[in-house]
Amino acid sequence: MHISLNRQLNPFDKSYFIYNAEKDIYICPNQKELILSRHSKETRNGKTNYYKVYQGIGCASCSDVDRCTSSINGRCIKRNINEDNKNY
């Protein structure tokens, strides 16, 4: 099994955040919630993708905030709205 170098070096890589579809939230490795904060869209090479953006709550009080994000607003995760329909 191949594990990306980024994941090996960063315990706060997006792949370590668990998505809870029932609540529509992410749970970080430190068990804090990231809640839906907004929707966004990006167009690249003529293709438009739509995303949900989740914002961490409680990041300011987390001892690992500096390892997790450089944002003063806490951790954000973008989720493509079609991600649930992907076949892995």
- pLDDT at residue 42 in the model: 95
pLDDT along the chain (88 residues), means of 10: 59 94 96 97 95 95 94 95 67
| Phi then psi dihedrals of residue 87, to 5 deg | -100, 120
16: domain range?
A: 5-85
Overall domain count for the chain: 1
CA–CA distance, 54 with 33 (Å, rounded to integer): 9
12-23: burial string, b at 16+ Cβ within 10 Å, e else:
beeeebebeeee
The structure's pTM equals 0.82
- pLDDT at residue 83 in the model: 80
- pLDDT at residue 82 in the model: 87
- pLDDT at residue 74 in the model: 95
